Structures are given as structure tokens and as C-alpha cells.
Amino acid sequence: MLFQVRMDVHIPADLPAEVANDIKAREKAYSQELQRSGKWRHIWRVAGEYANYSIFDVDSNEELHQLLTGLPLFPHMRIAVTPLCRHPSSVRDGDA
Ligand SMILES: O=C(O)CC1=CCC(=O)O1
């Protein structure tokens, strides 16, 4: 199951820099592990914003929920999820 996920990050201005940097480092490691596993297929920065568009390939809504709520930055994010399915005009056979 494919999902487009938009993540908007809002770190409180009064969060100490060392705490914020630790969260960001853990977020990067978590994200890169999921990208290598194939669960997190794509991540793109939204130009000019502290936000990304990502594509997840997971087995269930529940799995997506678990992955997203496990993000170290989750407490500081607004997340919007859009379910995707194959477009009948797609020429990309690899896209389920
Ligand atoms: O920087 C972001 O958009 C938030 C984020 C998600 C995964 C990651 O490494 O950073």
C-alpha cells in the first residue's frame, strides 16, 4: 500500500539546541533505516519550507501509523496522509 505523506516540522523556539540536534540526528537514522528497508520509498524537501513529501510502501494503515508515530520528530510535526493507488495511464510497471 502506497501513501504520500507530508510532514511539516515545528520545533519550539525555546527547545535547547542540543536537545533539538539530538532529535534531528535520531530522526535521520530512523528515516534512513526505513529507506534502506524499502518502507520509506522517497523523501523530498519542500523548497523553502521545513517540510517534506514522502512516499511510504507499507502493508497496512496500522503499519504506517506505527512508523509515523515512531518518528523522533513526531511530537513536533503536522502530518497529512494521502492514500495512493496506481493510475490507469501509468507506464511505470514497477509502481504498484
Ligand atoms: O527534515 C524533515 O523534513 C524531517 C525529516 C524526516 C526524516 C528526516 O530525516 O527528517
Q: Which residue, by CA, sits nearest to atom 9 of ligand 1?
A: 28
pTM for the complete prediction? Answer: 0.95
The string of pLDDT tens digits covering residues 50-83 is 999 999 999 999 999 999 999 999 999 999 999 9
CA dist 57 and 96 (Å) reads 9
Q: Distances in Å between the alpha carbon of 42 and those of 16, 27, 38, 64? A: 30, 15, 9, 14
What residue spans define the domains of the chain?
Answer: 2-84
Regarding the beta carbon of 35 and ligand 1, being less than 6 Å apart is answered no
Domain 2-84's class?
alpha beta
Report whether residue 79 contacts ligand 1, using a CB cutoff of 6 Å: no
Q: Compute the distance between CA of residue 4 and CA of residue 26 in angstroms, rounded to an integer.
A: 22
Is residue 34 within 6 Å of ligand 1 at its C-beta? no
Determine if ligand 1 sits within 6 Å of the CB of residue 55: no
When pLDDT is cut at 50, 70 and 90, the band that residue 95 belongs to is confident
Going through 23-76 in order, the beta strands assigned E by DSSP cover: 40-45, 51-57
